[in-house]
């Protein structure tokens, strides 16, 4: 299925979403958020798709943030600051709660809402040429679509504060050092490493992947006791799956498992 501002390509069990506004460094306007919402809804229901990849079109950017020109032009009936926060947060939440693991494949600028888009994914693989940062402070705003909260939880309060308040951009090596990205590769290895990670997870039980995400999301969103209960429930669903039976049987029989996703 194709959309106005993004592309969706399915290759076997892997769906790749390409942010497709290269002339605007793939900036996120209202239509991008609407297209992403619809695209993700479709993928979440598609049992054939086991892994999702998000990448940027062109060779300059993953996503250079929210569309500043659109925000600058907005007046009158345009969304208010709080409406933008709710709408943006919803899309980032949608990504974190996808049943499939989502890989961000980051080739260039991942700024503002674009860095946040990457952070909403489960695995972040970046080229050594990628650039990160929250430059919002220079525009008189801040990454108020969940961007302070998620950064704080992912890399800790000290570095999150510095990134939000200085607005300074930083390179992929620094992002790796901060734990903001999980895999760092040379530019010409990005596609291969992304495909390798996608194929690896596509071979696992979709039930186990989904329930692992449920437990990790609970840990991020709930207090300790509630997260423990959520993990117990997720593990119970996982343990009751046919995939769990198949995975353990395959180990005992010294063969590869055939996970069906139930
Ligand atoms: N929005 C709109 N257009 C953009 C954006 C953007 N975020 N980034 C780049 N573009 C456009 C440029 O305007 C330019 O278009 P044109 O050719 O028509 O002038 C084109 O993309 C190429 O960009 P540049 O010519 O600027 O390329 P440079 O190599 O000189 O610079 C940079 C690259 C450093 C990435 C520069 O483009 C830049 O600083 N971009 C803005 C980065 C930024 O500030 N991002 C944060 C945006 S705010 C945000 O994300 C808020 C999220 C939370 C609240 C959101 C509510 C929805």
Question: Taking CB atoms and a 6 Å cutoff, what residues make up the pocket around ligand 1?
Answer: 24-25, 27, 64-69, 84, 88, 109, 111-113, 135-136, 139, 143-145, 147
Q: Angle at the Cα of 217 (from 55 to 148), degrees rounded to 5?
A: 70
* Cα of 68 from ligand 1 centre, angstroms: 7
Instruction: Determine the pLDDT at residue 245.
Output: 98
* Cα of 77 from ligand 1 centre, angstroms: 24
Which ligand 1 atom is at minimum distance from the Cα of 69? 2
Domain annotation for the chain: domains and CATH numbers: 6-202 (3.90.226.10), 206-252 (1.10.12)
Three-state SS annotation for 113-145: HHHHHHHHCCEEEEECCCEEECHHHHHCCCCCC
pLDDT one-digit tens code per residue, 98-115: 999 999 999 999 999 999
What pairs with residue 109 in β-bridges? 61, 131
Can you say whether the dihedral through the CA atoms of 39, 15, 21, 184 is positive or negative? Answer: positive
Instruction: Determine the pLDDT at residue 77.
Output: 66
From CA 157, how far away is CA 27, in angstroms rounded?
A: 27
Which ligand 1 atom is at minimum distance from the Cα of 134? 46
Q: Is pLDDT of 76 > 80? A: no
pLDDT one-digit tens code per residue, 177-223: 999 999 999 999 999 999 999 999 999 999 999 999 999 999 999 99
Two tokens at 4? 């106005």
Q: Angle at the Cα of 196 (from 194 to 202), degrees rounded to 5?
A: 100
pLDDT one-digit tens code per residue, 134-154: 999 999 999 999 999 999 999
DSSP 189: G
Q: In the predicted model, what is the mean pLDDT of residues 153-181?
A: 98
Which ligand 1 atom is at minimum distance from the Cα of 65? 50
pLDDT one-digit tens code per residue, 2-38: 799 999 999 999 999 999 999 999 999 999 999 999 9
Which ligand 1 atom is at minimum distance from the Cα of 131? 35
- Please tell me the pTM assigned to this model: 0.97
Two tokens at 38? 């619809």
CB neighbour list of residue 103: distance below 8 Å, 6 or more residues apart: 51, 52, 53, 54, 121, 122, 123, 124, 125, 194, 197, 198
From CA 52, how far away is CA 14, in angstroms rounded?
A: 6
From CA 100, how far away is CA 82, in angstroms rounded?
A: 29
């Amino acid at each position: 299925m194709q959309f106005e501002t993004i592309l969706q390509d399915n290759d076997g069990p892997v769906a790749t979403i390409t942010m497709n506004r290269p002339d605007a460094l793939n900036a996120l306007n209202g239509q991008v958020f609407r297209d992403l919402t619809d695209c993700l809804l479709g993928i979440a229901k598609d049992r054939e798709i086991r892994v999702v990849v998000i990448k940027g079109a062109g060779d300059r950017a993953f996503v250079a943030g929210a569309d500043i020109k659109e925000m600058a032009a907005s007046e009158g009936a345009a969304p208010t600051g709080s409406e933008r926060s709710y709408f943006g947060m919803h899309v980032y939440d949608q990504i974190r709660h996808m049943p499939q693991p989502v890989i961000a494949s980051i080739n260039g600028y991942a700024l503002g809402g674009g860095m946040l888009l990457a952070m909403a994914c489960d695995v972040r693989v970046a080229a050594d040429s990628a650039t990160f940062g929250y430059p919002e402070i220079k525009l008189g705003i801040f990454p108020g679509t969940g961007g302070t909260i998620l950064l704080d939880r992912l890399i800790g309060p000290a570095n999150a504060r510095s990134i939000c308040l200085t607005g300074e951009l930083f390179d992929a090596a620094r992002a790796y050092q901060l734990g903001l990205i999980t895999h760092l590769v040379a530019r010409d290895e990005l596609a291969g490493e992304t495909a390798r990670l996608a194929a690896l997870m596509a071979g696992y039980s979709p039930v186990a992947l989904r329930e692992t995400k449920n437990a990790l999301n609970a840990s991020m969103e709930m207090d300790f006791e509630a997260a423990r209960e959520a993990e117990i429930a997720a593990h119970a669903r996982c343990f009751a799956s046919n995939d769990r039976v198949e995975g353990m049987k395959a180990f005992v029989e010294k063969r590869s498992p055939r996970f069906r996703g139930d």
